[in-house]
Structure 1
Amino acid sequence: MKSKGPLLATGAAFLLVLPLLAPQTLAFPHRAQVGEFDVRSESPLPPGQLQAVLNDARQRIASSPLADPAGEQRDIYLTSGGWRWTWLTLQSRGAFALTRALTGYMVINRSDLATNRVENGGSIGGQRLLSGVIAHETCHGMLRRHFGRLTVDITRPAWMREGYCDHVAGESSLSDADVAGLKARGETHPALVYYHGRRRVAAILAANGGDVDKLFAGSR
């Protein structure tokens, strides 16, 4: 009789990987379709709070010429930062959110609709606007659609990609005071590339008339 070990191992591996391709298999208990956004959540989705956050995100997204005028359709998964977040993000647990390049779904860390906040557990720069994070992650999808789904993340530097997405989001996790404090203490922080990238992107766009194509055709 042949051993069932390999078959069981294959089945277990499939069950572990399946949620990465289809997060809805993790049975998020709450769901709401709001225009172009299909939102699933571990916590209840009060309509007024959800609408306010998504409306703010829409305004930020629309500030980019890359945005689809008909709306950027996205599947959004709001987590409490617990086991679903860990399962879906693997080695990116300290991030605010993650968007899979191939599937396009967006999974967001510890979210609070009432305060429009996302937390990643960091002691410095550990909070961002939920609407800003949605805009930032949506912008990654816009960049992939416009410049190449499988190439833009490789051919363009992080400061440019993350800086532009924060530019569209209209915020970064680090404040000017945070950055000044880090500099005074001689410390580094993973979000500095976002902070400095956003400022650099804003300066380039101001100089070139807001041309995103010229921005991404420039220094690499």
Structure 2
Amino acid sequence: MFKKLKLLLLFLFLIFMGYWSLIEFPSFLFSHKHQNTNLIIYSDKPIPPNIKEISNEVLLRLKKSSIFNKNKTYSVYISNDSWRWRLLSYPANLTTKLGGFNAGFHGNAFIRPSIISENKIIPPGSYLLDAEQRDLVYFITHEVVHGLLYDEVGYVSNFINYPRWFQDGYPDYIAKKSFDFKKNLLQFKRNEKRLTVQSGLYVRYHLYVAYLIDIKGYTIKEIIKNIPDESDIVLSLESFSL
């Protein structure tokens, strides 16, 4: 019995290591790539000419972050074949339908099937909420910013020591082209669906981060060093007005 258990554990360990190796070194699965300074975008399908505009905009947004490292190469993998996306995203997709994810110690960003020529992802459902703001540029930037946070606080520490609102709120804050703080604050106070956790959007978390950085004047490194309690942010927003 003990021998069978050991064999089962060994088998599971080998599967995990095989998957982890795939996440850390996936470039052999992608035959096309575009490099713009320190951003490399890989694709399993030919890359259309507008990728230059897309990568320029991604870099422009990334440079808004003080933890962006111009000396590090950031890799993005767009899986257009559904089998490839399912293979790479299977563990992450067990609980949610993802637009993308970032995993591994290299901070590799993975994006679901997309129409690059139209600067959009192909959503997992029939439509994409807030599609105008959440284009392909947004998803790429959002996932790369997860990698910035891993570099800053540590990959494991990111998940253990930092709350969900921070993990996704800061990437959303950097990835969005614009954000109407007043409008979203009013929706938050009215408890509109877009501003709830249940919406599946990160607008609520974005609002937290925007409040801390744009209103209170904290830097991202100050927030990382002393993470506020979510309940305190909520109370502050409920009583705040512009």
TM-score with structure 1 setting the length: 0.78
Match of 2:154 among 148, 156, 168: 148
Report the residue type matching 2:129 in the other structure: G
Q: Give the structure 2 partner of residue 3 of structure 1.
A: none
Query: Any runs of at least 4 consecutive aligned residues in structure 1 with deviations exceeding 6 A, and if so which?
Result: 178-182
> Does the residue aligned with 1:99 lie in a helix, a strand or coil?
strand
Provide closer, same or farther for how the CA distance between residues 100 and 139 of structure 1 changes in structure 2, counting only shifts above 3 A. Answer: same
Provide closer, same or farther for how the CA distance between residues 13 and 115 of structure 1 changes in structure 2, counting only shifts above 3 A. Answer: same
Distance, in Å, in 2 between the alignment partners of 1:14 and 1:124 is 32
> Does the residue aligned with 1:188 lie in a helix, a strand or coil?
helix
Aligned ranges 1:119-134 → 2 under 5 Å: 119-122=122-125, 123-125=127-129, 127=131, 128-134=134-140
Report the residue type matching 1:149 in the other structure: Y
Which blocks of at least 5 consecutive residues in structure 1 are unaligned?
1-5
Report the residue type matching 1:159 in the other structure: W
Q: Can you list the C-alpha shifts for 1:139-172, whole angstroms capped at 9, x where unaligned?
A: 1111121222320222111111201110000169
Report the residue type matching 2:144 in the other structure: T
Provide closer, same or farther for how the CA distance between residues 79 and 161 of structure 1 changes in structure 2, counting only shifts above 3 A. Answer: same
Provide closer, same or farther for how the CA distance between residues 49 and 219 of structure 1 changes in structure 2, counting only shifts above 3 A. Answer: same
Distance, in Å, in 2 between the alignment partners of 1:181 and 1:169 is 24
Q: Does 1:170 align with 2:149?
A: no
Q: Give the structure 2 partner of residue 76 of structure 1.
A: 76
Provide closer, same or farther for how the CA distance between residues 190 and 44 of structure 1 changes in structure 2, counting only shifts above 3 A. Answer: same
Contact 1:182/1:188 (8 A) holds in 2: no
> Does the residue aligned with 1:80 lie in a helix, a strand or coil?
coil
Contact 2:110/2:143 (8 A) holds in 1: no
Q: Does 1:218 align with 2:240?
A: no
User: Aligned residues, how many?
Assistant: 204
- The RMSD of aligned alpha carbons is 3.3
Q: Give the structure 2 partner of residue 99 of structure 1.
A: 102
Q: Give the structure 2 partner of residue 90 of structure 1.
A: 90
> Does the residue aligned with 1:95 lie in a helix, a strand or coil?
coil
Q: Give the structure 1 partner of residue 166 of structure 2.
A: 160
Contact 2:112/2:121 (8 A) holds in 1: yes
Q: Can you list the C-alpha shifts for 1:40-71, whole angstroms capped at 9, x where unaligned?
A: 2122112x311100000011101111112x25
Q: Give the structure 2 partner of residue 205 of structure 1.
A: 213
